[in-house]
Amino acid sequence: MPPSRSATPAPAKTPRNFGAADWLVVIAGIAVVALHVVGARPPQGALWGADAYAFLPRWALVLAFAICTAPLPTFLYLWRFTREPDAQRPPLSVPRRVALWAAVLLDVMALFWCLREAHTFLGDGYPLTHDIPRGLRFHPHEPLSVFAHHLLFAAATRLHIFGTRDLIEVARAAIAAGSVVAGVVFVAVAIALARQLARLHATTPPAGRVTVALLAALLLGQGYVQLCFGYVENYTFVLVTLAAYLLVALRAFADEGSVVLPAALLGLAMLFDLSAAIVAPSLVVLLAVRARRSPLAVGLAVAALFGVLALGQVAIARLHPGYSILHSLLEVTNTAASGHGEGGRWAYLVSPQHALDLVNEHTLIGPFATLVFLAGVFVALRRPRRVGARGWFMVAAGLPALGAMLLTGDLNLGYPRDWDLFAPFALVFLVAGLTIVIEALGASNIKRALALAVLLSLFHTVPWIAVNASFPRSFERLKTLPLGYGRTETVVGNWYREHGDTREAKQWFARAIAVNPMNNAAEHYLGDIAIEEHDLAGGIRHYRRAAELRPDKISYHRDVMDLYAIAGETSLALEQAKQIEARGGASPALTGCVAILMTGENRHATADSLLGSAAASGADTLLASLRERVRAGDPYSALLQRFWNDLIARDVKMY
């Protein structure tokens, strides 16, 4: 007897109406598109987080708008596509899977490298590329990241990988290669994260491939992914480590892993960048959940966290004796609370400029990261019982970082240039928000909302990659950035100075001083130009003004001392030497300089005594040779010509 038709249950139909996730994406998408359309119109600078299209051909915005926002045919196609069943296919064999992963990651590496950043205007890219060749191996706030840059530079120099003898270019290429490799690892971790998130949504495992692909694309489509495109800075490593931390933490909640690995990865993230400590409350939540079930595992996790930090402390102290992770962590916290830059005052925090900077920052590193996280926090507060331990873990991961962003004052280089400080935490926001929202939605269809969010994310992120990959476009954008305090004008002027256009450089430095009469960097650069033009008096005037504006900066006093010595003003040069010593700049090289200046004051006996004391502290052939010439009665001009430049060069290397 044939079975009755009623015996076979009909497949459940997906609701046709919009859900909460759809409305969230649509409303956020309208805001994102509106910001980009307004940002594409002159004048540029105010919407620095959404003005990428202003530096691209006009047709780029029109095309992107048509692809991502036109209701027909794009949206109708997405509607149909995302309503289809999330079909499963049989798993690939191991060889095919390995070949597929290798092909994908090689393609990703090629993409990151070919579209890498064509400039070093953002973040600390400029000082890094100049200081790494001078021997920089350490930074108290990003100890492991800077040491990794040093190792990459050393390897590139030794192996002649990049085919250039220009050490600055080698450093730039080496750091960029490091960010590309880290970016490839990030792609693999992001795909694994997408699978873990999709499993939260799937009613029956394994999760569907369409959902995984959309989640992975959303994770990789946000503005923070710019860090992977050869970005010359310190934050790509911590981005990867935080992603791995969130992945293994989610697996620990699913009873697929131990809590020891998340703890160790958090310690590693802190070594890459101490600011990663701000997500530590989430680890406390994870350990508290596991404490009753497995106190031994919790003890091992705590030991792993502090063990990684202790090993880092010992290793870093060998590079920089006296270094303390705890002291540096307190310093980072104090800097964030009191302000980074010249505008880091509480008045800035309640100003309209701060509100605009926050909108730009969250748009640039998103655009969906913060919005999804805020939606997750709203769900957690509205339905606290529905948010399990995993959800509260995510709230504890993202909320402190969001609070820090809200309370941090003006940044050292200006908010638009220091945008990357908070970029890694946008990943935390997005993963945290997705975790809470997906669990709250249950079995609802989220593919449509994810597909729209991916398109709108690419609408935002792709033009930024295109702008950064072009030096002319990036340079034109730099000129519009509202860095404040004449910082934009100073950076632009310095680029012109380094490329031989002193006329244009002088104009930009003059603008910088007009905007901010306290701009010591512009004054110092004008002094450099004066020296290049053999204007000794002008060089002294500008160098002295820079030293007056920044009396704590030893290098400024050294430069003034240098010019006074060349001009024969030995008494004034000795005054600058006293300023250097008073600020902790005493060194054997400075002692040699002072001894030469003493001979210019006809105080040969004092010079001889100084050099004798310096020689007693250790063998120094340069100072010993200088002492011989002082005892032989060589005049000041001869000593200056023979020894001065070597002593100054040695002193420069010390700072």
Give the model confidence (pLDDT) of 530-584 as tens digits: 999 999 999 999 999 999 999 999 999 999 999 999 999 999 999 999 999 998 8
Residue 329 structure tokens: 């962590």
Omega before 43 within 30 of 0, i.e. cis: yes
Relative orientation angle of helices 588-600 and 554-567, to the nearest 10 degrees: 30
Percent of the chain with pLDDT over 90: 64
Q: How far is CA 170 from CA 111, 147, 159, 183, 547, in A?
A: 20, 16, 11, 20, 32
CA gap 244, 223 in Å, rounded: 19
483-493: pLDDT as tens digits: 989 999 999 99
Omega before 71 within 30 of 0, i.e. cis: no
Residue 286 structure tokens: 């994870």
- Name the one residue in this structure whose structure tokens are 């049989």: 90
Prediction pTM value: 0.88
Query: What pLDDT score does 291 carry?
Result: 87
Query: What pLDDT score does 616 carry?
Result: 52
Write the CB contacts of 216 (distance below 8 Å, at least 6 apart in sequence).
190, 191, 193, 194
The torsion angles phi and psi of 345, rounded to 5 degrees, stand at -120, 160
Comparing C-alpha atoms, which of 256, 277, 306, 522 is closest to residue 404?
277
CA gap 441, 20 in Å, rounded: 9
39 alpha-carbon distance from chain centroid: 23
The torsion angles phi and psi of 571, rounded to 5 degrees, stand at -65, -40
Omega before 73 within 30 of 0, i.e. cis: yes
3-class SS at 95?
helix
3-class SS at 655?
coil
Query: What pLDDT score does 470 carry?
Result: 96
DSSP structural state of residue 487? H
CA gap 275, 140 in Å, rounded: 11
Residue 289 structure tokens: 């959940």
Query: What pLDDT score does 1 carry?
Result: 46
Segments of the chain scoring below 70 in pLDDT? 1-18, 67-90, 92, 202-207, 337-345, 443, 614-620, 651-655
Residue 213 structure tokens: 């692909």
Residue 551 structure tokens: 């009396």
Cα R_g (the chain), whole angstroms: 29
Query: What pLDDT score does 340 carry?
Result: 62
